[in-house]
Homo-oligomer: A and B are copies of this chain.
Amino acid sequence: VNDISKPLIAALKGQRVDPPPVWLMRQAGRYLPEYRAVREQAGGFLNLCYDPEKAAEVTLQPLHRYGFDAAILFSDILVIPHALGQNVTFEAGEGPRLDPIRDNAGLARLSTDRLHESLGPIYGTVERVAAGLPEGAALIGFAGAPWTVATYMVEGSGSRDYPNAKSWALGDPDGFQVLVDLLVDATAEYLIRQVEAGAEALQLFDTWAGVLPKHAFDRFSAAPIVEIARRVKDVHPNIPVIAFPRGAALYLPELARMPEIDAIGIDYATDPVWAARELQPHATVQGNFDPILLLAGGDELERRAREIVEALSGGPHIFNLGHGILPQTPLEHVERLIAAVRG
């Protein structure tokens, strides 16, 4: 599980790797024609997540095309609420829809009883990808962090300001903690199984961490992430954990100092020069090319990619985007980006 000859694992273990290993968030996604073909066959997004053969295929597609240094499990953060018994659907072009949970009665309907039964196909995907990995590439498992998963569970969909989830979290923090604790339990168990199925590193995505005041960030973003990492490491001490609380740059130095956290993802708005100074002494830094510039192309693409590599060249760095790759991204821009990174 800890093959330090793989560039991604070496970087996660604190080594400076030159050129840095590279993968892209949502690299298995709609910008790839081969992905769109498989998704169409699968008949819907959740079907694809729960089909180990097809999910493994799309997980590996970007590695075959581009030679990335890591595969990231193809799945969705909402398989956890689904496994807890919440109704989750994806309408084409609409994003997710959930029956929203707004109170204790809603919480009481959730249960971990059928967790692994529901998530079994995901573990199957991990096993298949692990068996089919190209040489030198590592497999990253992942989950949503409790705060971000909770926003979808409470709002019932993506949302701009998360009024219901934030109202609950800020106005009744002890009540909201019950939901977060349940997510910590389920997510830790889920990730432990991913490691046992072959994941070599884990990433926790806290996409909406940036909407929380400091006191709520500490309690509902950072603390659950650290607790999940601790529980996974109690069982698998050597598994590296990447935390990616988006939009919360100010609070990353504290998180980077936690012994449970091996790497910090930084979003596109975070200065890589600052990250080199404030984060890299304590954790590997992953990021942070702007996916809009990958879409736009032009001379700025190479220039800004080299700028990030340069800024973070003094310590352990994994080159990535600062947010998921956009579906309209031209295939040749991805090639140019990788070439720029690998110099």
Contacts and interface: CB of A to CB of B under 8 A. Distances in A.
Nearest to A298: B171
A107 interface: no
B213 A304 contact: yes
A290 B213 CA distance: 7
A326 interface: yes
A248 B250 CA distance: 9
A260 B251 CA distance: 28
How many subunits of this chain does the assembly comprise? 2
A340 interface: no
Interface in A15-68: none
Interface stretch (A2-10, A149-157, A263-271): A263-271
A212 interface: yes
A182 interface: no
A304 B215 contact: yes
Most buried by B among A168, A292, A298: A292
B269 A161 contact: no
A292 B166 contact: yes
Contact of A211 (B211, B269, B304): B269
A77 interface: no
A167 interface: yes
Nearest to A290: B213
A214 interface: yes
A166 B212 CA distance: 25
A227 to B, nearest CB: 21
A269 B213 contact: yes
A251 B271 CA distance: 9
A161 B250 contact: no
Contact of A300 (B171, B212, B274, B326): B171
Most buried by B among A163, A170, A288: A170
Contact of A167 (B211, B212, B274, B296): B296
A161 B267 CA distance: 13
Interface in A228-282: 247-251, 268-274
Interface string A293-304: 101111010001
A270 B214 CA distance: 7
Contacts of A247: 210, 247, 269
A170 B300 contact: yes
Nearest to A251: B271
B326 A293 contact: no
6 contacts: A210-B210, A212-B269, A213-B271, A214-B273, A214-B274, A247-B269
Most buried by B among A163, A213, A248, A296: A213
Contacts of A117: none
A204 to B, nearest CB: 19
Contacts of A163: 292, 295, 326
A222 to B, nearest CB: 12
A278 to B, nearest CB: 9
What 5 pairs across the A-B complex have the smallest Cβ distances?
Answer: A171-B296, A214-B271, A166-B292, A167-B296, A170-B293
A324 to B, nearest CB: 10
A171 B269 contact: no
A216 B202 CA distance: 31
B297 A171 contact: yes
